[in-house]
């Protein structure tokens, strides 16, 4: 497998896992709560919180073994893939053209930052702690 293929596969797996986790959580939430789910914002917010938490933990683990530049590029790429999957998923589920365009303009950048920022911050802290220990002892 070439390096480029391995990198793309890594980004697709990260983005897919994060979005699949969000989808699974919100599906379970909707199945377990009564009432109209179109107006229930709680499940979606908790799902996004879990995406942030997963990116935070995964980025922290990555920071121990990746340099900061590679970590940043990896997680910004994973955020872009997550956002692209979300927009495509909306279109496939029958979203109207205007809804998909709004998702491309607003949801995609939001999801990219929502995934990349906590992962890069946690990874940077993890990298700093790992390298501080090696430098001082």
Each residue's pLDDT tens digit, 59-85: 999 999 889 999 999 999 999 999 999
The 10s digit of each residue's pLDDT in 81-120 is 999 998 888 888 888 889 889 888 998 999 999 999 999 9
pLDDT score of 40 = 67
DSSP 34: -
User: Cα separation of 62 and 23, whole Å?
Assistant: 24
In the chain, how many domains are there? Answer: 1
Beta carbons within 8 Å of 129's beta carbon, 6+ residues apart: none
Q: What is the pLDDT of residue 134?
A: 62
Structural domain span for residue 82: 3-136
Residues 13-30: tens digit of each pLDDT: 999 899 888 888 888 888
Q: pTM for this one?
A: 0.84
| Assigned token pair, 109 | 């950048």
CB count in 10 Å sphere of residue 96: 10
The stretches of the chain forming alpha helices (DSSP H) are: 3-32, 42-63, 68-92, 97-102, 108-136
CB atoms within 10 A of CB 111: 26
């Amino acid at each position: 497998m070439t390096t480029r293929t391995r990198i793309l596969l890594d980004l697709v797996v990260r983005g897919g896992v994060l979005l699949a986790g969000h989808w699974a959580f919100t599906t379970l939430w909707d199945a377990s709560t009564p009432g109209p789910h179109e107006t229930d914002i709680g499940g979606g917010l908790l799902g996004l919180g879990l995406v942030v938490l997963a990116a935070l933990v995964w980025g922290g683990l990555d920071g121990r073994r990746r340099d900061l530049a590679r970590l940043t590029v990896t997680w910004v790429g994973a955020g872009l893939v997550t956002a692209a999957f979300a927009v495509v998923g909306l279109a496939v589920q029958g979203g109207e053209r205007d809804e998909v365009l709004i998702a491309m303009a607003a949801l995609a950048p939001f999801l990219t930052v929502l995934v990349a920022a906590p992962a890069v911050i946690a990874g940077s802290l993890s990298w700093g702690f790992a390298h501080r220990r090696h430098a001082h002892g």
